[in-house]
């Protein structure tokens, strides 16, 4: 079914066809999903529950975390690290197709790309 996938590292907002199961949504956001916003039309934006921690690891240069090295924001209460996915209303055992127009998400989204460390972690404290 129709969902909207936001990938800040790739700077893309695109329609995707996914199963509307918890597992498929968690795969789309790269881990345990968390509700980030509920739209008036019944759609829900999900992000990774540990996106902030994963973003910190990514910015510190931890291998395998590159998808979380950027954020997106939609004019909501905060920006979000890593991918987000917008799906439709929850109906019993799965979500329905997203109703939010792709063009409105593209018009609202901004991408943030902080500087990622390439230095090896060293001891903390004064030298």
pLDDT confidence of residue 127 = 46
What stretch of H or E contains 84? strand 84-87
For 10-60, the pLDDT digits (tens) are 999 999 999 988 899 999 999 999 999 999 999 999 999 988 888 888 888
User: Would you give the distance in Å from CA 77 to the centre of its chain?
Assistant: 14
What stretch of H or E contains 12? strand 12-17
pLDDT confidence of residue 58 = 83
Mean pLDDT in the chain?
A: 87
pLDDT confidence of residue 113 = 82
pTM: 0.86
């Amino acid at each position: 079914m129709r969902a909207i996938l936001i990938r800040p590292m790739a700077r893309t907002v695109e329609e995707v066809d996914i199963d509307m199961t918890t597992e498929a949504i968690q795969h789309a956001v790269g881990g345990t999903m968390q509700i980030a916003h509920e739209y008036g039309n019944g759609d829900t934006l999900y992000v990774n529950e540990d996106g902030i921690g994963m973003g910190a690891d990514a910015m510190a240069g931890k291998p395998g975390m590159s998808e979380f090295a950027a954020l997106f924001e939609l004019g909501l209460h905060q920006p979000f690290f890593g991918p987000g996915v917008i799906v439709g209303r929850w109906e019993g055992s799965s979500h329905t197709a997203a109703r939010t127009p792709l063009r409105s998400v593209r018009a609202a989204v901004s991408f943030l790309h902080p500087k990622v460390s390439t230095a090896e972690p060293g001891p903390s404290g004064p030298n």
